[in-house]
Structure 1
Amino acid sequence: MRGFLAIVVAVLVGSVLSVEQPAGADPGPNVAPSPVFPVNSPPSPLQSWIDHNIKAPQLTSTPADHQAALWRAMLSSPTGDRMFDAWPPNLAALKPGQIIESRDVTATTAQHMTVPIRRAVLLKFRSTSSTGTPSFGTATLITPAAAWNGPGSRPVEVNAMPINALGMHCTPGYQLSHNLFDRTNTDLVWFMPALYASLNQGHAVLLPDHEGPLMAYGEPNVAGHMMLDSIRAVRNALPEFDNSRYAVAGYSGGAIAAYATAMLQREYAPELSRVLTGVASGGLVTDYRDIAHRFNGWIASGIMLSVTTAIAREHPEMLQYMNNLAQWVVTSPTRDLCGDADGPLGAVGIPMDAAANISNSLDSPAAENLYRQLDLTNRTSGVPLYIYHGSWDPWIPIEDVQRMYGEQCSRGVPAVFRTVPGEHLSSYATSYPGLDDWLNARLRGEPAPNECPRR
């Protein structure tokens, strides 16, 4: 038991941390009181041993305020740029998608491009949290130098890049608005060629920071709101894109955001029906319960622990089930990890119960409540869908996304499903030709194909 704990501490913490933890970026509203699920299982012997031998970080002098202090201390560190750090005081008075601030970022964005661009604008706008409270978002719109030779106004391809990160400096918005080597998120580099291709075709490209201001990696409700409000923001700020066609694409972590855009559009942004022409998602997670059990204690456990930390920022009721070791970890420098670092944390296969104070944490009533909040499969997409998945993906089961595809077909949604060669990473590259053709057709205004089985 002691040896196992030593490995966990060495992998997750990495160094001795000071008792006083610095606060994150201005988090806006206070934490609401947490619901309690009294029928959760008591701690296991290992969990009791952890909490007996590791004391909780002292974040406040008042024990009653510990959970609120823990929440604030686990947020991403401030970037030093108020565009990302500052919560406007009048958010409740604004409408979703209403512009708060904008900044020309052409000079810094051009450093990241291999194709010429005409302009890049960073937008800050009002949005909505997972629980419906006022929030804000940021997104970058890049207009290419290449002309648009298709019908109508220049279209906008909304690219939900897989941010997969806990730190606010890892977002496309921060990366493109700062110099090339300013805390680079190397995860984004893999996905940049598709962006260059879109710009070369004359598409404007919109890059939402879809994890939101709390960096809630993997939270679909936040992601969907951020994506839809970024489209609203472009149309509010830049009249030349008011009548443009918009199509959304996202892979892996970005697929969650793209999928949520489709599932939440009818209820959250019904007015976008006339401009949003389709959504493409690849390598998509639809069943959080299934993924949690598959990733638990496996090589993907580092990603799972990172996602759990991120989702707890939007769902602070989870914090009451976090043991003392986990509290040290989430308030350590790990709270600023980019996606190129969270994967290696799973090298020793860390189980979720090593971070919890209740046994069977993934099957607890608290977990079941969270799965329900993250589940969007009971919604009907407001737009045509293009779903694709790697034939040998060992991370995300193809059966889950096939089930979702069938459900959307049964509800009358025009949809296409493609199985492409490769595992989770390589299938992104092998999917490109078919995906690009489908997106281009949507942005030209062509009717969406429907390959759903006839009923």
Structure 2
Amino acid sequence: MSVSFRPKINWRTRMNTRKIATAFRVLPLAAIAMAASAAFAAPVQGPADASFYTYPAALPAANGELISYRDAQVNLGANAPAAKAWNVVYKSSDSKDAAVAIAGTVIVPTAAWTGTGPRPILSYAVGTHGLDPKCAPSKQLAAGTDYEAANIAAALKAGYAVMVTDYKGALTGTGSATKLGSTYLSGKAQGNAVLDIVRAAAQIPGANLSLNSQVAIWGFSQGGQSATWAAEQLANGYAPELKVVGVAAGGVPGNLREVAPTLDGNIGFAFLGAALNGLNNQYPGTLPIRLLASEEGLAALNKINTQCVFEALFEFQNKSLPAYTRDNIPLDELLEIGAPTLDQQNLGNVKINVPMYIYHGKADEFIPVSQGVNLKNAYCAKGTSVTFDLFPSEHIVTQFQAAATALPWLNERLAGKAPVSSCNSTKPAPVSTANPGGGNFVVTLDKWNLAGEIGLKTLAQTVFLPAGSTFSADADVTAKTLNGSLSIPDYKTTVKLIGINTSVGLRVEAAGATTGSNVVGNDGSLTITGQSPANITVTSVLGIPFGQCKTVSPVIFPLNLKGNVGTLGDGTLNFTGTTSFPQIKGCFISGILTALMSGNGQTFKLNVAPPAPIRY
């Protein structure tokens, strides 16, 4: 006897939805906007205290209707542009088309939009933040602790109004159980939430946002899944009035059954546990893990419900799902039981009618690179325009490396520029370079580009490092250590000696490993404290070799950085500081060189950036 947990599909409802969507497509956009506005009741200005996030007693009928709003403060870092923000609660629908209330934040730059048409809108779908309401992006943006703040700030600088949904589960209160609890990785619900916040934002009094605006969608990891589901929902006729011009989605878990074995017994186990909780909330009874779980397993699932992402990630690193069941049930059996629910989250189902930018990390340890490649191929086969980029790094680092590419790609779509398609690429499928699972959480930097400058205090001049300089390291997040090395080719530079431009040959070589500590906190904070020793040799002056004019001891470059993982917002690590140059000895002009180059107070800037992505 077999039991199917696949929900029944009401084909009449689906047909009616298609007819309505078709009718919308033939109406002028202004008429659609007016019709939508007329259907929405006036929103309520919400309270300033925590009761704003209490689940409303009744929901309106229309998806995207703004229920309540209030002025908000967001902390996006020192480099963020001035902006006005609102918290919102709006109506959406979950994966079963049931009415739900969703919270979120809307941020609009205060600088006037100088482009063509109304200000563009970016619906920014965040990655995993954690299942507890305290982890919601609206609350972390207010506290200045959201690890994706740098990406949001970059979008604001580009002129976008940015919408950030909290997804379902951020609202609390005394409502029924069906109204509460995160639906983490329930794709359709997340996609709807990403679209409906755009509709809701247009109803905020004084925000000056328009449904006539061009809309872009961007997300990574859970956010990549959400952004892609939003694209599929658009193709299915949801929110037809939105003028979406492009979707950027990275690190997308396109097939959860294929992703699960990579997470199980690995550093990403917490994501698997969170998925079981979220999908069980959306599809109760279809994933009977709570019936099969041991007492320890139930305790683990309950705890993950109360943790934010990094806290859960570190506590449950390398745990195994079968070990949390009563009889150590094999993972493949558990996945087979939950297959109908898991398979409903699969992506690549329909032709997306707007250009897509899909990107992935070659060393992704959570979501195998094959997921990105397979998703690209599935959409290409259906006629979707897909641009696909492969980045060199693992999951978390790729999220921030790719920001410098994803946002310009979206900007080009706003400008009406045709994208470069990857659908006819003849490159072979990439082979994963992820570190082996089951051990420490290690982020590898493999020959990252090293740029830098050294300020020579006495000469009041700056010497730049040559092209081809690289930095490699293993940042062990579990052991909190950093071990690496730098490689700098011999080069020549020009400095003024006694007022005369003089060619000087330099050799900067590692005098040992770059070592230090690398600490990622439970709140996503990032602190690097280390040092890189290097011997500096003047190999020639005016093209004339003078022997080994070398510092008598290594120059120590302190490497200190404090921020959060979003510090990688432009894909780089930036270190600045001062150091001391020892005496130079070993040649007959060493006294002159010492007088000109040695001493305290030498400044430096080192910029470590990943290799460029490969377009597939």
- One fold, TM greater than 0.5? yes
Query: Is 1:136 equivalent to 2:101 in the alignment?
Result: yes
Aligned equivalent of 2:154 = 197
Uncovered stretches (5+) of structure 2, i.e. residues with no partner? 6-48, 171-180, 427-616
Q: Give the gaps of 5 or more residues in structure 1.
A: 1-35, 40-79, 181-185
Letter of the 2:252 counterpart: L
Which letter does structure 1 place at the counterpart of 2:70?
Answer: R
1:442 is matched with 413
Could you state the TM-score of these two structures normalised by the residue count of structure 1? 0.74
* TM-fit CA distance, 1:275: 0.8
Q: Which range is displaced more, 354-363 or 193-202?
A: 354-363
1:55-66 paired onto structure 2 within 5 Å? none
Q: Residue 331 of structure 1: CA displacement? A: 3.5
Tell me the TM-score normalized by structure 2. Answer: 0.55
Partner of 2:150, secondary structure, is helix
CA-to-partner distance for each residue in 1:46-71, whole Å, 9 max, x for gaps? xxxxxxxxxxxxxxxxxxxxxxxxxx
Call closer, same or farther: CA 1:118–1:433 in 2, change over 3 Å: closer
Partner of 1:54: none
Instruction: State whether structure 2 residue 281 is matched by structure 1 residue 310.
Output: no
Instruction: Look up the match of 1:299.
Output: 267
Output aligned runs, 1:347-426, within 5 Å: 347=317, 349-357=318-326, 359-364=329-334, 365-426=336-397
Residue identity in the other structure for 1:145: T
The 1-side partners of 2:197 and 2:216 are apart by: 13
Conserved 8 A contact 2:75-2:143: no
CA RMSD of aligned residues (A): 2.6
| Distance in 2 of aligned mates of 1:408 and 1:362 | 27
CA distance in 1, matches of 2:360, 2:321: 27
Conservation of the 8 A alpha-carbon contact between 1:264 and 1:381: no
Distance 1:394 1:179 in 2: 30
Q: Show CA shifts across 1:64-116 (max 9, x none).
A: xxxxxxxxxxxxxxxx8233331x3332x5111111111111xx215756434
Alignment of 1:280-291 (within 5 A): 280-291=248-259
- The residue type equivalent to 1:279 in the other structure is V
**Separation in structure 2 between the aligned mates of residue 268 and residue 146 of structure 1, nearest angstrom:** 34
- Conserved 8 A contact 1:97-1:236: no
Cα distance in 2 for partners of 1:385, 1:241 equals 23
Q: Distance in 2 between matches of 1:111 and 1:199?
A: 10
Of 212-221 and 140-149, the range deviating more from structure 2: 212-221
Q: Deviations over 1:307-333 (max 9, x none)?
A: 22232222221343333322233334x
**CA contact 1:386–1:415 (8 Å) conserved in 2:** yes
Aligned-partner Cα distance in 1 for 2:166–2:226: 10
Select between 152-161 and 230-239 the one with higher mean Cα deviation: 230-239
The residue matched to 1:240 in structure 2 has which SS? coil
Residue 224 in structure 1 maps to residue 181 in structure 2: no
Q: What letter matches 2:139 in structure 1? A: Y
Closer/same/farther in 2, CA of residues 38 and 111 from structure 1, 3 Å limit = closer
Structure 2 counterpart SS, 1:374 = coil
Which of 210, 219, 223 is matched with 1:254 structurally?
A: 223
Question: The residue matched to 2:233 in structure 1 has which SS?
Answer: helix
Residue type of the alignment partner of 1:261: A
Which of 313, 337, 343 is residue 313 of structure 2 equivalent to?
Answer: 343
Residues 352 and 362, structure 1, Cα contact 8 Å, conserved in 2: no
Q: Distance in 2 between matches of 1:192 and 1:315?
A: 32
Name the SS of the counterpart of 1:425 in structure 2: helix
Distance of 2:4 and 2:257 partners within structure 1: 21
Q: In the TM superposition, what whole-angstrom CA distance separates every residue of 1:184-210 from its partner, at most 9, and x where no partner exists?
A: xx4x32x22222122122211111113
Cα distance between partner residues in 2 of 1:129 and 1:432: 29
Partner of residue 55, structure 1: none
Q: How many residues align?
A: 365
Q: 1:162 pairs with 121, 127, 141, which one?
A: 127
Matching residue's letter, 1:203: Y
Q: CA deviation at 1:288?
A: 0.5
Q: Deviations over 1:322-377 (max 9, x none)?
A: 33322233334x42211111111333x22212233462354344221222222233
Partner-residue secondary structure (3-state), 2:348: coil
Instruction: Describe the SS at the equivalent of 2:216.
Output: strand
For 1:57, the equivalent position in structure 2 comes to: none
Mapped contact 1:421–1:430 kept (Cα < 8 A): no
Kept in 1: contact 2:235–2:350 (CA 8 A) = no
* 2:52 corresponds to 1:95: no
Pairing 1:175-186 to 2, within 5 Å after superposition: 175-176=140-141, 178-180=142-144, 186=145
Given that residues 212 and 226 in structure 1 are in contact (C-alpha distance below 8 angstroms), is that contact kept between their aligned partners in structure 2? no
Which of these residues, 227, 243, 249, is aligned with residue 275 of structure 1?
A: 243
CA distance in 1, matches of 2:331, 2:369: 25
Structure-2 change in CA distance of 1:372 and 1:126 (3 Å):
same
Query: Per the alignment, in what secondary structure is the counterpart of residue 221 of structure 1?
Result: helix
Opposite residue 280 of structure 1, the aligned amino acid is: A
8 Å CA contact retained: 1:151, 1:444: no
- Displacement of 1:169: 1.4
**SS in structure 2 opposite 1:451?**
coil
1:384 maps to a residue whose letter is P
Does 1 or 2 have the higher relative contact order (CA < 8 Å, sep 6+)?
Answer: 1
What residue in structure 1 maps to residue 176 of structure 2? none
Question: How far apart, in 2, do the equivalents of 1:449 and 1:245 lie?
Answer: 20
Q: Letter of the aligned partner of 1:228 in structure 2? A: L
Q: Distance in 1 between matches of 2:117 and 2:164?
A: 22
The structure having more radius of gyration, on CA atoms, is 2
1:207 counterpart residue number: 164
Partner of 2:82: 117
Tell me if the contact between 1:216 and 1:311 (Cα under 8 Å) persists in the aligned partners: yes
Q: Secondary structure at the match of 2:344?
A: helix
What does residue 299 of structure 2 align with? Answer: 328
Shift of 1:268: 5.0
Amino acid at match of 1:397: P
**CA offsets 1:114-164 (integer angstroms, 9 cap, x no match):** 434341111211111222211111221111123322211111112112133
CA distance in 2, matches of 1:423, 1:118: 32
Please give the alpha-carbon distance, in whole angstroms, between the structure 1 residues aligned to 2:351 and 2:295: 41
Q: What displacement does 1:413 show?
A: 1.0
Are 1:391 and 1:421, in contact at CA under 8 Å, matched by a contact in 2?
yes
Bigger strand fraction: 2
Q: Could you say which residue in structure 1 is the equivalent of 2:136?
A: 171
Could you tell me how far apart the structure 2 residues matched to 1:38 and 1:422 are? Answer: 40
Contact 1:146 1:200 in 2 (8 A): no
- Which residue identity lines up with residue 226 of structure 2 in the other structure? A
C-alpha contact (below 8 Å) 1:281/1:386 kept by paired residues: yes
Give identity over the alignment, percent: 24
Partners of 2:184 and 2:344 in 1: CA distance? 15
Q: Retained in 1: the 8 A contact 2:363–2:392?
A: yes
